[in-house]
Amino acid sequence: MKAALTAFMSDAIRQHLSDDADEYLYQVRRAASVGELIPMLNPLIDAVLEAAGPGAAAEFADGAAEILEP
């Protein structure tokens, strides 16, 4: 699950956050567990919302939720 969430978050960061991508990618890549990735989701949703609009933010949130569902 960690690998899938890391890949998903990294793809979204590269796609939507060109200006702030490096800092977000660094944080995501250095996370050692899903538990460390989860607190990053809300700030990333907000950043995607600001950079790419509500549709992209909703898509990101839905995709993350699908990965995290048991």
Q: What is the pLDDT of residues 2-17, one digit of tens each?
A: 999 999 999 999 999 9
In the predicted model, what is the mean pLDDT of the chain?
96
Number of structural domains the chain divides into = 1
- Range(s) of the domain holding residue 20: 2-68
Given a cut of 80, whether residue 25 has pLDDT beyond it is: yes
Question: Do residues 38 and 45 make contact, with C-beta atoms less than 8 angstroms apart?
Answer: no
Question: Do residues 40 and 31 make contact, with C-beta atoms less than 8 angstroms apart?
Answer: yes
Which tokens hold the place of 65? 């939720």
Given a cut of 80, whether residue 70 has pLDDT beyond it is: no
What's the predicted TM-score (pTM) here?
Answer: 0.92
How far, in Å, CA of 26 to CA of 60, rounded? 19
